Chain A
Amino acid sequence: MNRELPITAVQEALRRRSRLWTPVYLLLALVFLIGLVGTALGLIVLLRVSQNHTPRYADIVEHFKYGSIGAEQNSGIPYRVWRALPRLFPEAFEQRDDYSAFGFLYENDADDRPRDLPIGIARRIDRSVEVVWFNCATCHTGTVSLPNRDDKAHSARLVVPAMPSNNLDLYRFIRFLLDSATDERLSPDILIPAINQTGPKLGCIEEAIYRWYVIPALREGLVTRRSRLLPLLEKQPPWGPGRVDTFGPYKRIQANMPMSSLLPEELIGTADFPSIFQQGPREGMHLHWDGNNTSLAERNLSAALGAGVTPETVDHAAIDRIADWLKSLRPPPSPYRTDAVAVARGRDTYMKHDCVACHGYRDVQGYVFKGEKLGQVELNYDPKVEPNKQLGVDPHRLDSYTERLRDFQVAELFKGTPYQFKSFEKTFGYANLPLDGLWTRAPYLHNGSIPTLADLLEPPEKRPAKFLRGIDKLDPNRGGFVAPACDSMPAQANHFCFDTSLPGNNNTGHRYGTNLSPAEKSDLLAYLLTF
């Protein structure tokens, strides 16, 4: 079609001008277009970068097991890397395609399909990358295998939220992660193909993000954490399943105290994961093994810091929801079938020897939080001269919490917020703990150095010196989990030889009841098995 000729001189001039300016207009249009595309891309990137959301679970147990408390942003591992690690490090994962080798627990979902993440691992989309990390259930959900009454050869395995994570070998898991930071298999060239093999192939933009940002940031974070934690972990005997050093990593990660400034006696703070049933009655008691805090809320936040949250990322609402639920969560009833008469006699013994003063008691309706010294750190001696004198158990956990750490916590953590710590105190003895859900809490004492209740009623020299941890089968007679001597059976995955001669593992102290007669001990045990 012929273009119409201009009619007026002005039109001709404008047409000439438009011809002259066409390249400029085109250039401007191009610049505008590039700007538009750039802005759009920028907005998309901004939108993705500003993404920060996590699944919410209506069911409180699901929330406890899988919901986020805000630890993923600071401490998490990208989900796709999480999925790829078992394939890259088969030796650490014992050839399994999941994290059960470290004692993580897997369940099926409501549709009976296997879940891709274990209990205690929450997910969150952070800056467009899905990251996973710990929540409360990591350390506070365990299993109990009960003999199947119909089929004696097989047992039923109960997953018990809020009991200690008796299977989780956190030390081994953390060591693995820290070591992987320096392993070439975590380089993008090896990790990305493994990611692609263990899930949908990364798109080119996503791959670039992983190659140039996600993986380097992960490695850098792990290397930093390694430089902080490894010198401490190397000073400690492996924790074994069901145990953690609560305050040692605190000193290195949050407080960044130089290793050289830490005293030898404060280096090992390894203790058992506690159960967290029925927190409501515990408000005001001396919480933690050494009773260093009387505020449930502070204790919860402090534990969340241990799980990886920061004052910036912490999800208070999620934690409060769990805390409310835990206030009244009762432990499952004891599965032990005990002789009622023996239990009654045992109760008498318990009362007669005033166990109730320190540990409360159980009546027909359940555990009763009453006892004049229940939940207290006993200080009826000069604690600074002879700390831990009365109980006489392994002092390492007590000594690991120092005035210096306390000062740091109170001064720095959640500073300037309503959550700022103020209730932490250095104590000089272990707290007398309530015994609710006692049957789920083996091995016993703060450091898990005594496998069964029966062993606890024996004098230290008769208690097992070395035994296997990591077996969740209830010992039907002795109370606690089956804990054969280390060399009594062939080594199995997850079994860990607990050596009480190692620092922090000492099984001395708490000699109460060791002088009872065998019959009294048997009755007392029967009573304790009902807790």
Chain B
Amino acid sequence: MNQDVIFTPLRFRNLEVKNRIFRSSISGRFDNEDGSLTQTRINWECKFAKGGVGAIISSYVPVLMEGRIIAGYATVHRDAFIPHWQKLGEAVHSFDCKFIMQLSHSGRQLDIPGVHNYTRPALSSTSRKETLHGILCRAMSLPEIHHTIKAFARAAWRAREAGLDGVELHAANGYLFTQFLSSGINDRTDEYGGSLANRARFLLDVIQAIRAEVGGGYHLQVKISAVDHNNVIPWEKKGNTLQESIEVARWCEAAGADAIHVSTGSLFPHPLNPPGDFSFETAAATYDVAISSGVSTFRNYILFRYPVLRPIFRWLWFRMKRGRPVEGVGLDEARAIKAAVKIPVISTGGWQSAAKIRDAINSGDCDGIAIARSLIANPDLLRFWAAGDDLPPRPCTYCNRCLLNAPKNPLGCYEPLRFPDHETMVEQLMTVYNTHPELRVPQPAEVFP
């Protein structure tokens, strides 16, 4: 019998992963306000490492404090945090799992700004506010762009110093790179705006800066949105097409990227990413933490909260999903990009069935699969596959309650159908806090009056 392709190693230029499954980037407010990560974060990542995935793509890791999406996510903006990340790397490695840090900058997609950021508009390619929440922003000056490029390079260096296995540039889903790449968002008139080449300049500059900083021997992959679908708000422009994204992928390869991770959508969340349902009751219970973040958030909250108004948002959100599958929603785009580049391609978007994943890889549509929600539901998903099951007994339902709870509550599975009762669900959520801290008395010099 041939070996299951899921469990065959994936060899990148600078990295070998033991199987084809990547834990896709998911965050969770587990960390300290200053950006230092916690034991909780380590526990969280180890769930998946122990579960058998080949590599973990970290939480969304800002390279600058101004680039946070949500305060409470670990950052990599300081050298002082290298030991923390090193500890995390060690923990994940102990389960024979690789760890790839996702280097990120929110740009204007700054959902909960935190005390560091709430007095200033977010930095972006544009001064036009974010469309869904009305988050305020300001077009970056060239010095600010150059500063940010350097910050990415330094962050990659810190990841390498921490012994992590590689970095991923989060150039998808509406964050700062997308804000430069997307023709639907970028309205600049300088060398970072206009043509596709100009819009891609920021990303390519960052790749080159990282290569200059860490050399060619360190794993660097790029996550891009294959299609922007920027017109969630119907009067917005559609943004980048698949053809444009293929071109960007080629340029990334030429600039020194080792892999392309294919997602979709020019904002996050997006009707197609993550695909699945939208729980209005959950949104009404959690979106309140974001009300002060934007000028349109209160409007959204009203739309979520009052059943009579929900059809408005429902129409807005679900019209794009029609005719598209949940599982492997981005496979067609991944196939197209795979055909255009020589480096490995990772596909994300609703994957859960072993058979479908095997088909996707065997047919050469992609080389690896990145999964988030199905692994939150079943961190040991690969064990079921290894045992010959196609799906776990209680699979992810794509309810997206994990996503909607993330800004306010501990990250985990919130699908009530998967638990006998609420208490069991909470117990599952709390497992990540099993920290056994070694508390100690601080030295006088460590206490700031």
B292 at interface, CB cutoff 8 A: yes
Given contacts A8-B113, A9-B136, contact A17 B119 (CB under 8 A): no
B294 touches A9 (CB 8 A): no
B306 at interface, CB cutoff 8 A: no
B118 touches A13 (CB 8 A): no
Kindly list 18 other residue pairs between chains A and B, CB separation below 8 angstroms, not including A7-B118, A9-B120.
A7-B119, A8-B113, A8-B118, A8-B119, A9-B118, A9-B119, A9-B121, A9-B136, A10-B135, A10-B136, A10-B293, A10-B294, A10-B295, A11-B292, A13-B121, A13-B136, A13-B295, A14-B295
Considering the chains assembled together, what is the distance between the CA atoms of A14 and B294 in angstroms?
Answer: 9
CB distance from A7 to the nearest CB of B (A): 7
A–B pairs, 24, beta carbons within 8 Å: A7-B118, A7-B119, A8-B113, A8-B118, A8-B119, A8-B292, A9-B118, A9-B119, A9-B120, A9-B121, A9-B136, A10-B118, A10-B135, A10-B136, A10-B292, A10-B293, A10-B294, A10-B295, A11-B292, A13-B121, A13-B136, A13-B295, A14-B295, A17-B295
CB distance from B25 to the nearest CB of A (A): 27
Considering the chains assembled together, what is the distance between the CA atoms of A48 and B118 in angstroms?
Answer: 58
Considering the chains assembled together, what is the distance between the CA atoms of A368 and B160 in angstroms?
Answer: 130
Considering the chains assembled together, what is the distance between the CA atoms of A11 and B294 in angstroms?
Answer: 9
Chain A contacts of B121 at CB under 8 A? 9, 13
Chain A contacts of B119 at CB under 8 A? 7-9
Considering the chains assembled together, what is the distance between the CA atoms of A13 and B129 in angstroms?
Answer: 11
Chain B contacts of A11 at CB under 8 A? 292
CB distance from A5 to the nearest CB of B (A): 11
Instruction: Provide the A1-38 mask, 1 if CB < 8 A to any CB of B, else 0.
Output: 00000011111011001000000000000000000000
Main secondary structure of the interface of B (DSSP, over half): loop
Chain B contacts of A17 at CB under 8 A? 295
Chain B contacts of A10 at CB under 8 A? 118, 135-136, 292-295
CB distance from B68 to the nearest CB of A (A): 14
User: Could you tell me which residues of chain B, from 122 to 138, have a CB within 8 Å of some CB in chain A?
Assistant: 135-136
User: Could you tell me which residues of chain B, from 262 to 297, have a CB within 8 Å of some CB in chain A?
Assistant: 292-295
Chain B contacts of A9 at CB under 8 A? 118-121, 136
Considering the chains assembled together, what is the distance between the CA atoms of A14 and B135 in angstroms?
Answer: 11
Closest 6 CB pairs of A and B: A8-B118, A9-B121, A13-B136, A9-B136, A9-B120, A13-B295
Q: How many residues of B contact A (CB 8 A)?
A: 11
Considering the chains assembled together, what is the distance between the CA atoms of A82 and B122 in angstroms?
Answer: 79
CB distance from B108 to the nearest CB of A (A): 12
Instruction: Provide the B132-147 mask, 1 if CB < 8 A to any CB of A, else 0.
Output: 0001100000000000
Considering the chains assembled together, what is the distance between the CA atoms of A426 and B268 in angstroms?
Answer: 92
Q: How many residues of A contact B (CB 8 A)?
A: 8
Considering the chains assembled together, what is the distance between the CA atoms of A13 and B138 in angstroms?
Answer: 13
Considering the chains assembled together, what is the distance between the CA atoms of A11 and B120 in angstroms?
Answer: 11
Considering the chains assembled together, what is the distance between the CA atoms of A7 and B120 in angstroms?
Answer: 10
**Which of A9, A13, A14 has the most chain B CB atoms closer than 10 A to its own CB?**
A9
Considering the chains assembled together, what is the distance between the CA atoms of A128 and B136 in angstroms?
Answer: 59
Considering the chains assembled together, what is the distance between the CA atoms of A451 and B249 in angstroms?
Answer: 123
CB distance from B78 to the nearest CB of A (A): 24
Considering the chains assembled together, what is the distance between the CA atoms of A13 and B128 in angstroms?
Answer: 13
Considering the chains assembled together, what is the distance between the CA atoms of A375 and B292 in angstroms?
Answer: 94
Considering the chains assembled together, what is the distance between the CA atoms of A13 and B108 in angstroms?
Answer: 15
Chain A contacts of B118 at CB under 8 A? 7-10
Considering the chains assembled together, what is the distance between the CA atoms of A9 and B295 in angstroms?
Answer: 10
CB distance from B161 to the nearest CB of A (A): 34
CB distance from B65 to the nearest CB of A (A): 15
Chain B contacts of A8 at CB under 8 A? 113, 118-119, 292
Considering the chains assembled together, what is the distance between the CA atoms of A17 and B120 in angstroms?
Answer: 16
**Which of A7, A10, A13, A17 has the most chain B CB atoms closer than 10 A to its own CB?**
A10
Considering the chains assembled together, what is the distance between the CA atoms of A14 and B299 in angstroms?
Answer: 13
Instruction: Provide the B303-334 mask, 1 if CB < 8 A to any CB of A, else 0.
Output: 00000000000000000000000000000000
CB distance from A86 to the nearest CB of B (A): 64
Instruction: Provide the A395-430 mask, 1 if CB < 8 A to any CB of B, else 0.
Output: 000000000000000000000000000000000000
Considering the chains assembled together, what is the distance between the CA atoms of A14 and B298 in angstroms?
Answer: 12
Chain B contacts of A14 at CB under 8 A? 295
CB distance from B117 to the nearest CB of A (A): 8
Considering the chains assembled together, what is the distance between the CA atoms of A252 and B113 in angstroms?
Answer: 87
User: Could you tell me which residues of chain B, from 9 to 64, have a CB within 8 Å of some CB in chain A?
Assistant: none
Closest chain A residue to B294 by CB distance?
A10
Considering the chains assembled together, what is the distance between the CA atoms of A164 and B59 in angstroms?
Answer: 106
Considering the chains assembled together, what is the distance between the CA atoms of A7 and B292 in angstroms?
Answer: 11
Closest chain B residue to A14 by CB distance?
B295
Considering the chains assembled together, what is the distance between the CA atoms of A484 and B118 in angstroms?
Answer: 111
Chain A contacts of B293 at CB under 8 A? 10
CB distance from A4 to the nearest CB of B (A): 15
Chain A contacts of B295 at CB under 8 A? 10, 13-14, 17
Chain A contacts of B294 at CB under 8 A? 10
CB distance from B123 to the nearest CB of A (A): 12
Considering the chains assembled together, what is the distance between the CA atoms of A14 and B292 in angstroms?
Answer: 10
Considering the chains assembled together, what is the distance between the CA atoms of A17 and B294 in angstroms?
Answer: 13
Considering the chains assembled together, what is the distance between the CA atoms of A13 and B121 in angstroms?
Answer: 10
CB distance from B146 to the nearest CB of A (A): 24
Chain A contacts of B292 at CB under 8 A? 8, 10-11
Considering the chains assembled together, what is the distance between the CA atoms of A10 and B298 in angstroms?
Answer: 12
Considering the chains assembled together, what is the distance between the CA atoms of A70 and B148 in angstroms?
Answer: 89
Chain A contacts of B136 at CB under 8 A? 9-10, 13
CB distance from A474 to the nearest CB of B (A): 81
Instruction: Provide the A145-156 mask, 1 if CB < 8 A to any CB of B, else 0.
Output: 000000000000
Considering the chains assembled together, what is the distance between the CA atoms of A9 and B119 in angstroms?
Answer: 5
Closest chain A residue to B121 by CB distance?
A9
Considering the chains assembled together, what is the distance between the CA atoms of A10 and B133 in angstroms?
Answer: 11
Considering the chains assembled together, what is the distance between the CA atoms of A13 and B293 in angstroms?
Answer: 11
CB distance from A16 to the nearest CB of B (A): 10
CB distance from B105 to the nearest CB of A (A): 18
Considering the chains assembled together, what is the distance between the CA atoms of A9 and B294 in angstroms?
Answer: 9
Closest chain B residue to A17 by CB distance?
B295
Considering the chains assembled together, what is the distance between the CA atoms of A7 and B118 in angstroms?
Answer: 8
CB distance from B289 to the nearest CB of A (A): 13
Closest chain A residue to B118 by CB distance?
A8
User: Could you tell me which residues of chain A, from 60 to 78, have a CB within 8 Å of some CB in chain B?
Assistant: none
CB distance from A431 to the nearest CB of B (A): 73
Considering the chains assembled together, what is the distance between the CA atoms of A120 and B293 in angstroms?
Answer: 78
User: Could you tell me which residues of chain B, from 179 to 237, have a CB within 8 Å of some CB in chain A?
Assistant: none
Considering the chains assembled together, what is the distance between the CA atoms of A27 and B436 in angstroms?
Answer: 62
Considering the chains assembled together, what is the distance between the CA atoms of A26 and B341 in angstroms?
Answer: 60
CB distance from B437 to the nearest CB of A (A): 33
**Which of A7, A8, A13, A17 has the most chain B CB atoms closer than 10 A to its own CB?**
A8
Considering the chains assembled together, what is the distance between the CA atoms of A11 and B293 in angstroms?
Answer: 9
